[in-house]
Structure 1
């Protein structure tokens, strides 16, 4: 998600400021589309990029996955780590703060997830996604969920430019024989605004399997 006039702030500084100064919290619930596509997979090792406060990562750990959650914000990662204290998942989840434009967590994975990994400041998103996908073992899955619309109460709603499905696919530069497309399309969600408003928003879902 980008503004019509893309801002040039450093993404590390932008997201650190976002988590330090804005009202950000966690719901304690995983994303509904993540649950829809991942719930029946056999657990293994998963890399969750843009993990924020760790809602998805903790749900995955509860399903038996060994999770590495990565986020650009040290503040977000520290909050996610605090949620591990006294939990049953402390040995199953590793939260790391890293600028994914410059580094990627080590290892190979059976699943890579990227839920709403979008930024209003410049970020080499497609390159990051491709490098994360390269860490999948043969037969591993990639799930990318992206905002494709905003609710009417979102500030600056008319300024946002959302990716199209074709732009998402083109950015991943998929090899013709390397990937199985289980889902490449749109999904809708019902959301509730700060004053109890109701709306339907649209997401892009890419659910792929490495051949």
Structure 2
């Protein structure tokens, strides 16, 4: 473990989990309410000193520093949300040898496949292309789609496809 950045941390479940594993975590979200709840969860777990909660509208501001892990899980939003630009900024915050983890939905749930039709759900290959990473500077460790079982609002079983992209930034001596 080292320094981790959790983008769009919400109420902090992933950030608290990372802190429990020994990481020093910066958790960021646009919602002050979510961050207050996250801080409460971290304090209840005895990990309040391991997580720095920061409020950012990632379209306008971004946490300072370099991180050994940058995680962007389900960073989707309605309207004019510059996800691709935010993820490129996230990649630039990864320290040499560090990991960039991006997880997202690949579409709507089986019971409403057209849900969120106004949000772009890119494939892992599209996310990788959108990052515009320098040739040879990154190693793809995982690029996959998977289906998860869910329960529909009416109680019936359903599914949703998600995807994940895990990249390692090569150290200067490894690049090229």
Asked if residue 190 in structure 1 is aligned to residue 149 in structure 2, the reply is yes
Aligned to 1:75: 33
Aligned to 2:161: 202
Shift of 1:127: 0.9
Question: Aligned pairs, how many?
Answer: 169
Aligned to 1:105: 63
Given that 2:107 and 2:113 are in contact with CA atoms closer than 8 Å, whether structure 1 keeps it comes out as: no
* 1:45-194 matched pairs, under 5 angstroms: 45-154=3-112, 157=115, 159-160=117-118, 161-194=120-153
Secondary structure in structure 1 of the residue aligned to 2:62: coil
1:95-148 superposed Cα distances (whole Å, 9 cap, x missing partner):
111111222112211000000001122111111111111111110001000100
TM-score by length of 1: 0.74
Shift of 1:185: 2.3
Q: Superposition RMSD on alpha carbons, in Å? A: 1.8
Q: Which runs of 4+ in 1 moved over 6 A?
A: none
Shift of 1:195: 3.3
User: Aligned partners of 2:10 and 2:80: how far apart in 1?
Assistant: 18
**Structure 2 unpaired stretches of 5+:** 171-176
**Structure 1 unpaired stretches of 5+:** 1-42
Structure 1 residues 50 and 94: CA distance shift in structure 2, 3 A: same
Moved more, 192-201 or 57-66: 192-201
Structure 1 residues 185 and 67: CA distance shift in structure 2, 3 A: same
Q: Quick one: higher RCO (CA 8 Å, sep 6+), 1 or 2?
A: 1
TM-score by length of 2: 0.88
Moved more, 53-62 or 167-176: 167-176
Aligned to 1:16: none
Shift of 1:47: 0.2
Given that 2:111 and 2:158 are in contact with CA atoms closer than 8 Å, whether structure 1 keeps it comes out as: no
